[in-house]
Structure 1
Amino acid sequence: MSQSSYELKAEAREQVGKGSARAVRRNGKVPAVIYGDKQPPLAIALSYKEIYYKIHGGAFLTTVATIDVDGKKIQVLPKDYQLDPVKDFPMHVDFLRVSKNTQVNVNVPVRFINEEKSPGIKRGGTLNVVRHEVEFHCPANSIPDFITVDLEGSEIGDSIHISAVELPAGVKPVIADRDFTIATIAGTAAAKSEAGEEAAAAAPASEGQ
């Protein structure tokens, strides 16, 4: 689970709209909004430098943060952000208020392990990643940093489905109506031919038993 919570200092903004947002940016800050938890939206201004490094540092949208707004501390989860299409400067951030009971939908990265223990990959097959991220429904304070897919024993032609992944307690896929594929082990023509020959060679032996 993510343990890298952090705190940001912010100033409340009385004015909103495009003109106000441009003024905030001219002053070297980033406009943002905190919403949710059945409370009115709160417009704030964040340090440009702090938010830039958080966004580009990774795991921004899966890490709960505390925002100190003029002395009042609010727990939030970043939900969305806008970057300048040319320079990647942060332009705006949306935060969701969270509490210990808040459930959220988040996209969690997939990590693959034990490629060296996959007979299919050793034979020349390749890992074909269908989903680099999976959307989960989970408690806001228990968002996984990633989910792990173990490739040990996987053969050419195998598909790894979400049911094969061990998930933390309380973490459930948003897609619940099917056992969707995360990755497959695809083979080259030569690797498939070799696998077919091995299967053919093993068949008579098994038939004779």
Structure 2
Amino acid sequence: MTDVIQATKRDSTGTAATIRLRRNGLVPAVLYGHGEANEHLAIPATQVKSLLRHHSKMIKLTGDVDENALVSEMQWDALGIEVLHLDLIRVNLKEKVEVTVAIETHGEAAGTREGGILIENLHEVDIRCSAGAIPENLVVDINDLHLGQNVTASDLQLPEGVELITPGDTVIAHVETPREEVAEETEDGLGAEPEVISKGGGEEDDEA
């Protein structure tokens, strides 16, 4: 999904200037790449929040600049609540890019009906595709996932033209036996201690 973002150029940089921007409901950003000069921009915080809700990687910049850009990096505040700065890379929609996308599990693991617990080991993977065809997320079906089994990155449903970079054998999710049951089975397997028979026992010991 591509979000349309209104961007204005900013002449002032530095700590004081960025503080003023944020007070006015704007987020500082820098646009670079393709051998062109860096552009220092200001983007409405409301549009950045919309970008986060949509999990968008690609954006269309309008206003003072007219560019397609890839969200390269976001700088967050200490609490991880507010975005403080955006790094944007100019892209051609047909060029190949490497990005990280979220994983979405579909269905209900059969193993959970067998007494197991679904553990999600991975929430995102790295892919390569054209900039104009970045998927919002990748789906993996877990309906046939039984107790003791797992699904890996190679089980993801990849749209046409999308190449997986994350190793295919990386575990995305698995179903395991609850730890309480494992502990009980271990305790049940512990019998009484075997009787110890000392060497040289018997009548000879009695005569000693």
Structure showing greater Rg: 2
**Is residue 2:41 matched to residue 1:32?**
no
One-letter amino acid matched to 2:171:
T
SS of residue paired to 1:15: coil
One-letter amino acid matched to 1:65:
I
- Given that 2:26 and 2:45 are in contact with CA atoms closer than 8 Å, whether structure 1 keeps it comes out as yes
CA distance in 1, matches of 2:158, 2:169: 14
Q: Are residues 49 and 165 of structure 1, via their aligned partners in 2, closer, same or farther at CA, if it must alter by over 3 Å?
A: closer
SS of residue paired to 2:19: helix
* Counterpart position of 1:83: 76
SS of residue paired to 2:66: strand
Q: CA RMSD in A?
A: 2.6
Deviation for aligned residue 1:42: 0.8
CA distance in 2, matches of 1:77, 1:106: 9
Give the alignment of 1:30-109 within 5 angstroms: 30-55=27-52, 57-60=53-56, 62=57, 64-70=58-64, 72-86=65-79, 88-109=81-102
CA distance in 1, matches of 2:106, 2:80: 35
* Counterpart position of 1:142: 133
The structure with the largest helix share of the pair is 1
- 1:181 is aligned, of 152, 171, 177, to 171
Q: Are residues 164 and 54 of structure 1, via their aligned partners in 2, closer, same or farther at CA, if it must alter by over 3 Å?
A: closer
**Is residue 2:151 matched to residue 1:160?**
yes
Structure 2 alignment gaps of length 5 or more? 185-208
SS of residue paired to 1:170: coil
Q: Are residues 180 and 92 of structure 1, via their aligned partners in 2, closer, same or farther at CA, if it must alter by over 3 Å?
A: same
**Is residue 2:118 matched to residue 1:127?**
yes
Deviation for aligned residue 1:44: 0.8
Ranges of 4+ aligned residues in structure 1 off by more than 6 Å: none
TM-score normalised according to structure 2 size: 0.76
One-letter amino acid matched to 2:116:
G
CA distance in 2, matches of 1:164, 1:48: 37
**Post-superposition CA distance 1:160-205 (Å, at most 9, x none):** 11222221122222234x52211111123659x9xxxxxxxxxxxx
* Counterpart position of 1:112: 105
CA distance in 2, matches of 1:91, 1:101: 30
TM-score normalised according to structure 1 size: 0.76
* Counterpart position of 2:187: none
One-letter amino acid matched to 1:137:
R
Structure 1 alignment gaps of length 5 or more? 194-209
- Given that 2:74 and 2:85 are in contact with CA atoms closer than 8 Å, whether structure 1 keeps it comes out as yes
